[in-house]
Structure 1
Amino acid sequence: MPADSREKTSAPRELLSRMIAHPVLKTVGITAFITIFFLGYFELLESPRFPVTVMPLTALDHAIAFAPFSLPIYLSLWVYVCFPPIALRTRRELVAYGWESAAVALIGLGIFLFWPTVIPSPGIDWTQYPNFQFLKSVDAAGNACPSLHVAFAVFSAIRAGRIFRSLSAPLIVHLLNWLWCLAIIYSTLATRQHVALDAAAGAVLGTLGGLFPFAARVRMPGTR
């Protein structure tokens, strides 16, 4: 087989090899993380400890119209965030990634604890949009700033980009990665789940978490 053909097939094989490594740890770890995160998230959402601040609207909020088609994009975050940990090969990488994800979540939840926020009412009759009723009834307009939806989208985009670079993925893969991330950020505004300031704060939090992998530099006994 020519060398260029081997190079083209090696990256998909390597990715598949990574994705099937440690299936139990990945399944249990991701499920446990999401479950614990939502327990804390909804506790703070339903029972704020301090006065709730209404986030102000900006020109960008007025420019982006409510878009019902953006709901599937918004929900796709929960697929998107699973890719980076699934594409890790070693237990050490997975444990480090778990701690780094937890740091992003804990910072966000800590802000929600001491500075609860809510978006202003968008003035939309949600009964006219049955697909949104469950989302709006479960995930109310609180826990607004920073948007953890945006934070984890950016965090995942940065980490996925690192994985794609290690696989020498073509430019189109990197572009699609960031396009998905940007689409999710857009959807947080278009679904009226967040305002622009929430998204901006979330992007900063996700960037800090993605660019400074503190746990990855810590030697953890018993992990490989």
Structure 2
Amino acid sequence: MYIFFLAYLDLLHHPRAPVFEMPLTWVDRQLGFQPWALAVYASLWIYVSLPAALAPSLRRLFSLGWHMGCLCGVGLLCYVFWPTAVPPAAVDWALYPGYALLKGIDPGGNACPSLHVAAALYSALWLGRELRELQCSPPWHWGNWLWSALIVFSTLVTKQHVLLDVLAGAALAAIVAAFSPGLWHFRGGGEGGRITV
């Protein structure tokens, strides 16, 4: 993870090619800045740790980690050959201390595909698998997808990404998931106790 962030920040601040500004869509223009969304945006780091925490074996943990690493690697390659950024938002970030910190670290570059979205959706698939194996009741599954959806939504209303970044991130998650055999083969009866709400 440390190496990923070093590479991410290096590409963010020292792009290897001219930076392409992502175009806004009608959706982007309709969604205004939402200060509350920063907490949801930051919650990704808790969310992506949950599938690993519930992994029943080292083999499963390795599979998850390997494919998440591939997902991040593909994203970094995109940023090497096609650096992108979001258009500046009409927001005075100094009025929002948390955002001022975020924008100081990540001003909206390395935009497409959104690795925030890709990691959230890929984690949602893995967490869904773990919840099925634990025979969790439906509210746990709804909560999983709601949290993931809120993280995706937060990328738009924090103005860290535009819709095209989100769609590209979702496509990246789907492609990596398709090549993750450990994600689709699970023990049908579930092992462990049933979790209910």
* 1:55–1:120 Cα contact (<8 Å) kept: yes
- Tell me the equivalent position of 1:145: 112
Q: Which structure shows the higher helix fraction?
A: 1
Runs (4+) of structure 1 moved beyond 3 Å? 214-217
One-letter identity of the residue aligned with 2:102: L
Alignment of 1:87 onto 2:54 = yes
- Tell me the equivalent position of 1:63: 30
Correspondent of 1:135 among 89, 102, 118: 102
Cα distance in 2 for partners of 1:175, 1:188 equals: 20
- Tell me the equivalent position of 2:193: none
Shift of 1:212: 2.8
One-letter identity of the residue aligned with 1:140: P
Alignment of 1:164-203 (within 5 A): 164-203=131-170
Q: Please give the per-residue CA displacement for 1:38-70, whole angstroms capped at 9, x wherever unaligned.
A: 111111101100111000000110111100000
Shift of 1:141: 1.1
Deviates more, 1:113-122 or 1:93-102: 93-102
- Tell me the equivalent position of 1:221: none
Q: Please give the per-residue CA displacement for 1:110-154, whole angstroms capped at 9, x wherever unaligned.
A: 000000000001121111111211100001211000000000000
Cα distance in 1 for partners of 2:182, 2:107 equals: 33
Correspondent of 1:72 among 35, 39, 42: 39
Cα distance in 2 for partners of 1:161, 1:207 equals: 14
Cα distance in 2 for partners of 1:46, 1:63 equals: 29
Q: Please give the per-residue CA displacement for 1:59-115, whole angstroms capped at 9, x wherever unaligned.
A: 110111100000000000000000001111211111121111111001100000000
Cα distance in 2 for partners of 1:50, 1:183 equals: 32
* 1:159–1:210 Cα contact (<8 Å) kept: no
Q: TM-score, normalised by structure 1?
A: 0.79
Cα distance in 2 for partners of 1:78, 1:93 equals: 20
* 2:177–2:183 Cα contact (<8 Å) kept: no
Cα distance in 2 for partners of 1:171, 1:191 equals: 30
Shift of 1:207: 2.1
For structure 2, the 5+ residue unaligned runs are: 185-197
Identity %: 44
Shift of 1:211: 3.8
* 2:126–2:183 Cα contact (<8 Å) kept: no
Correspondent of 1:101 among 46, 64, 68: 68
DSSP-derived class of the 2:36 partner: helix
Q: TM-score, normalised by structure 2?
A: 0.90
In the superposition, relative to structure 1, how do residues 216 and 73 fare at CA in structure 2: closer, same or farther (>3 Å)?
Answer: closer
DSSP-derived class of the 1:68 partner: coil
- Root-mean-square deviation (CA), in Å? 1.4
* 1:57–1:196 Cα contact (<8 Å) kept: yes
For structure 1, the 5+ residue unaligned runs are: 1-33, 218-224
DSSP-derived class of the 1:173 partner: helix
